[in-house]
Chain A
């Protein structure tokens, strides 16, 4: 062990020495080049020193024409240690510096050299006026006619380029050194370097793309005019507008969470605990909205109930006047869109509650209602709470629906978007989205550490075969009646979007037309291509990374595992607006500039969708006997081969669902991506938003339909692929 450590140190010493040698020679060579060029400029300019009567004009011309340097003329070279007799001519800043530093040893040396007709470069840089780090040259001003020295020319060269280059090679060498150290450390100290590289990669990725942007966002919210200040937070916390936005977000979240939990529980109860008909349809419709693209439900609500909506017009005829924009409309749309989250959570919980409990209760002659209220409901309460919290956080983070429907209601996610894009106040935007994080984080932590611990059932349990009927036929009919109404409304909403594609001008002219389709396709071709390309690139990266991360977390012991897990999972709890804002804050300046590139969008997709993939991978890996992988290793497979030939095939279902999840979420992203798109890389959802804003509902409908088709298609393919290997999943379990 010690011998290897010494070997490592020796290798690193060698690397440092070679690196330092290369570094200094590169740097010196560059500086030599740049200084030779400057010296040559000085020579050329000084050689052009004119007759005394033309000096003023010459200096003026130089000041106008020369961009990289400034010139001042000292007409009488002072003796060493003496002050100037008169103020130098030429550039006023440089003249001032020359006058005040005339007795400086460097200046004296410069004047001395000039007196001997030599060009001299000051050995240090000076600040000229407001410009720092200027290289100062001294040259003789020689009369062409008399060859007499008529004074000294002082040159100040801009060294920005030099400084920039130095910074660049510093960063480059430092980065290369760190990379080298990590690689060598892994190769020399660890038995399976591949695992080490994977870990180093994951840590680097999360630190750079999760921790760093968040830190930047937090930092910027405490900075005003380049200095630490609490003023942004003071403004925000004292502003009635912002506080009403916080209040609006909370109100919206509470209502939506409550309604969604109710509807979700209704669906889950009917599917998991009764013998109602058409359960398959109910559960399909109960999941559909969660994968449907953003804006689609909002769009159809606007088409029907908006100011010019189909139904609004009818109601107006009857004399009813109302506006869908605002809290009630938003609650309706969010509930429609988010109750599937509650449904999925609760059907897992209800299925895991063993029917035996209910049978025992009925057997002890409790009535059906009594059994429901004293057994089923209490057992489901932790599930209800976590469903509520989950919807609450989703509603708070929701950005797309308020964007179109908020009306007068102010919500935080929207407010931070307006701050950033409308007012260009990045600090305020960051602070607001951090403010939005607080309730989200509280809910998330409450779910994780409080509700989850109180849960009586594990959601992973297999559904029990039998169902104890807890409802009388009448109750069941009422419940299914409500459910079918909701399902009908959902179908109606999707139908409206579809209808919107074929109508000339919704709200005004309802004649059949295909114009919208052709126009939408021509106008959205590039955005559609971009959207699909970006999602298609992000998908495999996120899928593979998620499986590798899950494998390392489940199977490996290493230092900082908790930290890595936390960093990987954090983006799940972050509102998209916060991610978007922190990305533009962090990656629009050195050392990493990514704003405007495709990379920033792809990285954002990968980082945000990783947590779900990792959770899935972890769950499925926990069910796989570690000795299967060990057997492969034992037979001679290295880590990469084990991953390729054993792990990946075994976690195939989790891998595929992580792939399709990432793809779908990337195709339908809005909240973060709206900050990150550029003229070059556009996103379809933003285009839908733009069309809706401009009341081009026909175009928006067409694009929404296209997105819906793509998304459902992706899910369909995924399900087919997973089913293909159903035998495998069973045998693994």
Chain B
């Protein structure tokens, strides 16, 4: 439900090279990155710190200039447009509220720059403050607001100028867990109801999963995978992505056959058929079976693919997380509905098995990571 103002964003082979002031060496922060945001879409850039995701956001907002490549907002080439001439609005990690202005004037700032008549400003600011649930806070200085309220002011300040693209730079990282969940819902609701194109940067996979239409996973300046949250979770392209977007266990295996869009593997003599597999795999390759905690189960020692010892049980109400120490490392098993299932005691010898329909076979690139 994109409104008519929201625009697409296109990155064309964008490279950004920084010069490290200490070592005087060039560092490639972003390496020939291309992607496209459809109008009205919320796309998250997800990756560990230093992967170049913030640099991409800052290039889109205009605070950094790409070393090469082109950036388009809609059909306009904005590669060299200064930030104040771009139709983007950014919500900063540290909010960047003007401490010398009250909430009302913070939100009104962008409108004043656009020479909107003062009576219109008053009406519009009030409307947006109410939209973010701060209708009565107009006269307060930002320093007298809680973190979540400050975040809402920052959001209202960005949204009120009706930008073509909304940029959010880890906006929730300074909030506590509960507020973060609330704000996540809030941001998604506002973005959808205004139909605004948004780019969201985070290193928090839960945030990325719960907010995004699509996720772009990045690592050391390169895009590793682009896809919907469920694509990324269930069908990661490599061990890095699978590990970054959720807990995971890898079981070494050998590829026995690839047929009918599924992959037959051998783990310690047991044969499984996985519905998803990396297309780089050939018959005879050593590979890894990736299994999520919820697809793992625990049985008597010797019954599964890998034996181990239970080291901890963490009770979470709707599930129990059981840690099992194996030769492959510590593996997390999620047992849902724990009240009707068997929970193994700490120290018990157990064996792990998995539901092959939920797994994916990946190229064994763990050494390289």
- Cβ of B63 and Cβ of A732 under 8 Å apart? no
Binds B, one of A372-380, A457-465, A628-636: A628-636
- Cβ of B65 and Cβ of A191 under 8 Å apart? yes
Q: Which residues of B contact A645 (CB under 8 A)?
A: 109
Contact A627-B93, Cβ < 8 Å, known A191-B80, A632-B109, A634-B83 = yes
- Cβ of B113 and Cβ of A636 under 8 Å apart? yes
- Cβ of B90 and Cβ of A628 under 8 Å apart? no
Contact A635-B100, Cβ < 8 Å, known A192-B82, A627-B93, A731-B141 = no
Q: Is B89 an interface residue (CB 8 A)?
A: yes
Q: From B96, B100, B157, give the contact of A630 (CB < 8 A).
A: B96
- Cβ of B96 and Cβ of A628 under 8 Å apart? yes
Give A557's nearest chain B residue, CB to CB.
B21
Contact A727-B88, Cβ < 8 Å, known A192-B82, A627-B94, A650-B100 = no
Which residues of chain A (692-733) have a CB below 8 Å from chain B?
725, 727-728, 730-732
Q: Which residues of B contact A652 (CB under 8 A)?
A: 100
Q: Is B200 an interface residue (CB 8 A)?
A: no
Q: Which residues of B contact A627 (CB under 8 A)?
A: 92-96
- Cβ of A634 and Cβ of B61 under 8 Å apart? yes
A and B contact pairs by CB, cutoff 8 A, 16 listed? A625-B96, A627-B94, A631-B98, A632-B109, A634-B88, A634-B158, A635-B157, A635-B158, A636-B110, A646-B100, A650-B100, A725-B100, A727-B141, A727-B143, A728-B100, A731-B141
Q: Is B142 an interface residue (CB 8 A)?
A: yes
Q: Which residues of B contact A634 (CB under 8 A)?
A: 61-63, 83-84, 88-90, 158
- Cβ of A628 and Cβ of B97 under 8 Å apart? yes
Interface string of B77-117 (1 = CB under 8 A from A): 00011111100111011111111100000000110011000
Q: Is B161 an interface residue (CB 8 A)?
A: yes
Which residues of chain A (550-598) have a CB below 8 Å from chain B?
none
**7 closest cross-chain pairs (CB), A and B:** A731-B143, A627-B96, A631-B96, A635-B110, A627-B92, A649-B100, A731-B99
Which DSSP category, helix, strand, loop or mixed, fits chain A's interface? Answer: helix
Give A626's nearest chain B residue, CB to CB.
B96
Give B154's nearest chain A residue, CB to CB.
A631
Distance in angstroms between the alpha carbons of A646 and B105 in the assembled complex? 12
- Cβ of A730 and Cβ of B157 under 8 Å apart? no
Which residues of chain A (18-34) have a CB below 8 Å from chain B?
none
Give B85's nearest chain A residue, CB to CB.
A636
- Cβ of B90 and Cβ of A641 under 8 Å apart? no
User: Chain A nearest CB: distance from B24 CB in Å?
Assistant: 13
Q: Is A638 an interface residue (CB 8 A)?
A: yes
- Cβ of B143 and Cβ of A636 under 8 Å apart? no
Q: Which residues of B contact A730 (CB under 8 A)?
A: 143
Distance in angstroms between the alpha carbons of A731 and B84 in the assembled complex? 26
User: Chain B nearest CB: distance from A445 CB in Å?
Assistant: 23
- Cβ of B82 and Cβ of A632 under 8 Å apart? no
Which residues of chain B (114-154) have a CB below 8 Å from chain A?
114, 141-143, 154
- Cβ of A635 and Cβ of B113 under 8 Å apart? yes
Q: Which residues of A contact B92 (CB under 8 A)?
A: 627, 630-631
Distance in angstroms between the alpha carbons of A637 and B95 in the assembled complex? 17
User: Chain B nearest CB: distance from A637 CB in Å?
Assistant: 6
Which residues of chain A (631-663) have a CB below 8 Å from chain B?
631-638, 641, 645-646, 649-650, 652
Q: Which residues of B contact A625 (CB under 8 A)?
A: 94, 96
Q: Which residues of A contact B99 (CB under 8 A)?
A: 628, 650, 728, 731-732
Q: Which residues of B contact A192 (CB under 8 A)?
A: 82
Which residues of chain A (468-515) have a CB below 8 Å from chain B?
none
User: Chain A nearest CB: distance from B197 CB in Å?
Assistant: 16
Contact A633-B97, Cβ < 8 Å, known A191-B65, A727-B143, A731-B143 = no
User: Chain B nearest CB: distance from A642 CB in Å?
Assistant: 8
- Cβ of A633 and Cβ of B96 under 8 Å apart? no
User: Chain A nearest CB: distance from B67 CB in Å?
Assistant: 10
Contact A628-B88, Cβ < 8 Å, known A192-B82, A633-B83, A731-B143 = no
